[in-house]
Amino acid sequence: MLNQEVGWFDQKGTGELVNRLATDTYLVGNSLSQNLSDGLRSTVMVLAGTGMMIYTSPQLALISTCVVPCVAGIAIVYGRYVRKITRSLLDKLADISKSAEERLGNVKTVKTFSRENEECKTYDNLLGEALQLGYKETLARAMFFGTTGMSGNIIIISVLYYGGNLVIQDALSIGALTSFILYAGYSAISLNGLSNFYTELNKGVGSAQRIWEILDRKCLIPTNAGMIPEIKPRGEVIFEGVNFNFPARPDSVVLNDFSLVLRHGQTTALVGRSGSGKSTIASLLLRLYDPLKGRILLDNLDLRDVSPVWLRKHIGAVSQEPVLFSGTIRENILYGLNPGDTIKESDFEDIVRKAHVDEFAEQLPNGLDTLVGQRGMMLSGGQKQRVAIARALIKNPTILILDEATSALDSVSEELVQNALEELAKGRTCLTIAHRLSTIRNANTIAVLDNGQVAEQGTYDELITRDSGTFKELVKKQAFLMNT
């Protein structure tokens, strides 16, 4: 199956991070916009109040501010904790939404395995974990606000005590003491506002750290880099000593010194046991990944040097399990057009006919304008494949990748679509991946993949007559399985 993961999306956790981006951005924006003005006002009030307190009675002001270092220390610890807990809470929320999305999106599978209750429990547990984190944050907030509030009260009591003594000793007038208490009161209220701001600011910082994490990630294959040749490629592809393993599984070698030539205008079929790396080769040709060693050349240009956008513009691909988007059949087919390109209605209808989409679309209430549902779930597997074939052909690609493109069709439809594909593959470089070996009988060359290399290569007739050849074995096994 063609791999849908690209570049840094392959790295564990990136999907979840992207999931979180919207929430994080909202939190940061919210925290800043709503609290910045409050924070500024409170800061000015605290500074002004403190200034007036010092002016009225430096001695009392000194007593009032002696708790400040202690409160500042608590604020630092609290700030760090809030940032940490905000990150954990956001992680948990992302897990919850990912889990719900996956389970609800595949509700048929959940029902088939009678897992409704377990899934509800799992979701409940996740919600419980998020709630616990929320409690922790609330507890920390209560302790912080309690401490700052109590400090304010200690200050007022100390001021009343020392201020009263100063009044008795005639060192301070009653008017000055009253003013001092009023200034101290205003400062305390503003300090409370400042604590609120500090809390929200730290939550925002916790979220912002996530955003930077995403923004700092480097895309391994930048979309906008590389040269854009002015002419259309001819379509001669050479895999030259390619070594490859997926970033998520560095120890599992998929391709080892793999070499293969896809001749211009010819169909090359790739066969091999499941998991031997056929789809990986298609992914490398689409430059969804770069080889670890060796090169892939298109008309003698290293794929690493050309723009991935330009490259993919000239490749049409149909995967084993094609993904459609919610929208109509027509919209899904038109999705294959290169950005900015248009197509005449007659040409569009021609492609629809050639991919045999019209056969089933005519039976649907709105024909080609019928909605396909989320991920195309309102179409059968075979119907989706036909839409995907039309989507791949609409861009008139130089290179065509057919990864089990007809595997979901019944044998009658398969033959029809297969014939149409063979017709459409003429003049293009075609890489076809097949399990059903009968479908590649007419390929110009067949490459048998084994241990990450091409073990055998030749036409169907050459390979089938080769004694003790891998291909002959595969055909024998398949024929046996089909007859039993």
Ligand X SMILES: Nc1ncnc2c1ncn2[C@@H]1O[C@H](COP(=O)(O)OP(=O)(O)OP(=O)(O)O)[C@@H](O)[C@H]1O
Binding mask 4-33 for ligand X (x = CB under 6 A): -x----------------------------
Q: Does 274 bind ligand X (CB under 6 A)?
A: yes
**What are 158's two structure tokens?**
């100390």
Q: From the CB of 38, what's the least distance to ligand X, in Å? A: 48
Q: What span, in angstroms and rounded, lies between the C-alpha atoms of 440 and 418?
A: 9
Q: From the CB of 440, what's the least distance to ligand X, in Å? A: 13
With respect to ligand X, which residue has the nearer C-beta, 5 or 299? 5
The β-bridge partners of 317 are 401
With respect to ligand X, which residue has the nearer C-beta, 226 or 272? 272
With respect to ligand X, which residue has the nearer C-beta, 203 or 384? 384
Q: From the CB of 344, what's the least distance to ligand X, in Å? A: 36
Of the candidates 276, 275, 292, the one whose C-alpha atom is nearest the C-alpha of residue 284 is 292
Query: Which position has the token pair 């000015």?
Result: 44
Q: Does 207 bind ligand X (CB under 6 A)?
A: no
Q: What span, in angstroms and rounded, lies between the C-alpha atoms of 345 and 22?
A: 39
The β-bridge partners of 179 are none
Q: Does 280 bind ligand X (CB under 6 A)?
A: yes
Is residue 297 within 8 Å of residue 303, measured between CB atoms?
yes
Q: Does 195 bind ligand X (CB under 6 A)?
A: no
Give one DSSP letter per residue of 214-241, joined into a string: HHHPPPSS-TT-SB--SSPP---EEEEE
Q: What span, in angstroms and rounded, lies between the C-alpha atoms of 249 and 204?
A: 35
Alpha carbon separation from 387 to 227, 340, 375, 379 (Å, rounded): 32, 21, 12, 10
Q: From the CB of 250, what's the least distance to ligand X, in Å? A: 10
With respect to ligand X, which residue has the nearer C-beta, 191 or 255? 255
Q: What span, in angstroms and rounded, lies between the C-alpha atoms of 483 and 142?
A: 74
Q: Does 432 bind ligand X (CB under 6 A)?
A: no
Residues 69, 175, 275, 339: which binds ligand X (CB under 6 A)?
A: 275
Task: Please identify, among the stretches 118-126, 206-214, 271-279, 341-349, the one whose residues bind ligand X according to the rule CB under 6 A.
Answer: 271-279
With respect to ligand X, which residue has the nearer C-beta, 75 or 409? 409
How many chain residues are in contact with ligand X, going by CB under 6 A? 15
Q: What span, in angstroms and rounded, lies between the C-alpha atoms of 453 and 438?
A: 22
Query: Which position has the token pair 């990450």?
Result: 452
With respect to ligand X, which residue has the nearer C-beta, 316 or 452? 452
Is residue 291 within 8 Å of residue 284, measured between CB atoms?
yes
Q: Does 278 bind ligand X (CB under 6 A)?
A: yes
Alpha carbon separation from 397 to 324, 352, 450 (Å, rounded): 19, 16, 29
Chain residues 231-260 in contact with ligand X, contact rule CB under 6 A: 246, 248-249, 254
Q: From the CB of 254, what's the least distance to ligand X, in Å? A: 5
Per CB under 6 A, residues contacting ligand X are 1, 3, 5, 246, 248-249, 254, 272, 274-280
